[in-house]
Amino acid sequence: MKMHRQFINRKEHLICDALDGFLRSSGGANLARLDGYPSIKVILRTDQDPALVAIVAGGGSGHEPAHAGLVGAGILTAAVCGELFASPSVDAVLAAIMAVTGNAGCLLIFKNYMGDRLNFGLAAERARALGVKIEIVIVKDDISLPAISQARGIAGVLFVEKIAGHFAAEGASLRTVAKMAQKAADELVSIGVALSSCTLPGIGREDRIPVGKIELGLGIHGEPGVEQIDYSGARQTVDLMAKRLFGAVRPARAYALLINNLGSTTPLEMNLLTHDVLTGKHGAKIKLVLGPAALVTSLDMHGFSLSLLPLTGQFENALRSPSAVTAWPLVRTHLKPNLIRLPVALKSKALPASKNQALADIVLRACKILLEAEARLNALDAKVGDGDTGSTLALLARHLKAVLPTLPLAREAHFFAAVSSVISRTMGGSSGVLLGILFAAAGHAAAAGATWQKALLAGLEMMMTYGGAAPGDRTLIDALAPALLILSKKGDLPSAACAARAGADATAKMTRAKVGRASYLSAANLQGIADPGAEAVALLLEGLIR
């Protein structure tokens, strides 16, 4: 295994180990986690008043101390943590909701990424079906990409969480809490810059920012920024960011400013940047300052972000109100993590295991192919996304191998349904939800009498319906659709593999992605680079015919 200069053990255990370390050092701060590792990673309060509205937030890990470090009185009731830069699974979000929500209801806050929208959204719908009163607020504060219709959510989400937590602690109704949080989300603006990208554990860093340049508007998952500009000093950088922020924000008499360290910017630099923004052209308009602090990071990215919120009397009171959270450094006692049982509503009856040696052999071969392709797919994804496609699929492969003896292999409909369940528990992110939809729909089709080829094609159609992507949109569908079409007509795996390879190679010539994180990138960033998901499909089918 190639080692990098990071303090990690096995990267597949990194998030769970880090969360337990966080709890062990919490000093009995009324925190616990749900028992459900590794698929369910939820930090929650043990002192929540069930008569108050619960505030649940979260997202991919790698942004510490957000969001687990913000769990406590006055801010979050629970934080749902995904794998590195990947949305938590639907089951994990639902577990958090069901564990902390009382009769007052729950406000679900998440950032505007497809994976979060899908996973948190489906969890909210399932919670409603179970009788939970729930509202959602999606944070879209990044102003660096004005041309896109779906702005990203970045560090400004903390304003929304604090304001929601304040009104919930005051005993406000769910409607009022959601209204105030939505108002903050609507008026909030943020922008970030960096001198370097982040180092992915066990993978490394893509050094795409040359010396003498700074990247403006990059994403918190390491996505390339909207532009690289000449770097001539901290003051000029801050002035440019402030100009764009104040040009986009609603005019107000006073503002609150969040100064966020993206990971490895030193305290000395952060204090200098704070001085520059507060003494700049717009500094007199800023009344409240939050930070400088590392709050919503991007691993070790050498950069920072600024978030601006127009102040009202209510917002100012909410931001100034006391809270009891661990994101600010305190000396704490080593404690064994407290475990709380998963909510009964999440327990489902598993289908009985059954044998089919031929199918078991295919699953094992598929898992081997995905594990061997991990590094290759990560390297490809690092050029157009967050560098985790290979790791995400390898995580699924490891889990499938482990649970294979418990799967119902004798009947295709049951097998497809079981695979969907495994994917939804394991993968997270938009790819996990979409593949879960594919296999769930395939299970329904197989149960209705379709052949396995036709069932998978039906699953693909349902995945495209929910995901909004189609052939030509530069996704895994460009390889999967032609392959499944050939399988449904001819049942010829070699021809399907050839079609998948042609589809994957074609994505390298597509300079515009319509969905996913690649949609944030320019044509220059996409040219000549195949979509990692499409490449994974092609590698899988090619490996199976060998």
Residues noted as catalytic: 221
**Three-state SS annotation for 470-495:** CCCCCCCHHHHHHHHHHHHHHCCHHH
**Torsion angle of C-alpha atoms 144, 386, 264, 24, degrees rounded to 10:** 120
Q: SS3 letters for 318-385?
A: HHHCCCECCCCCCCCCCCCCCEECCCHHHCCCCCCCECCHHHHHHHHHHHHHHHHCHHHHHHHHHHHC
Tokens of residue 76, six digits: 């979050």
CB 305 within 8 A of CB 157: no
Enter the tokens of residue 497.
Answer: 């593999």
DSSP letters for 21-72: HHHHTS-S-SEEEES-TTT--EEEESS--TTSPEEEEEEEESSTTTTGGGBS
Q: How far apart, in Å, are the Cα atoms of 100 and each of 56, 110, 169, 520?
A: 9, 17, 14, 35
Q: Quick check: 311 and 252 in contact, CB under 8 A?
A: yes
CA distance 77 to 62: 20
Instruction: Give the three-state DSSP class for 2.
Output: coil
The SS3 of residue 219 is coil
Task: Give the phi and the psi of residue 410 in degrees, each rounded to 5.
Answer: -75, -25
Whole-number CA gyration radius for the chain: 23
205 - beta bridge partners? 199
Instruction: Quote the distance between the C-alpha of residue 321 and its chain's center.
Output: 29
Cα 225 from Cα 217, distance rounded (Å): 5
Phi-psi region of 319 (alpha: psi -120 to 50; beta: other; left: phi over 0): alpha
Edge-to-edge strand ranges of the sheet holding 54-61: 134-139, 106-111, 54-61, 78-84, 42-45, 31-34, 339-340
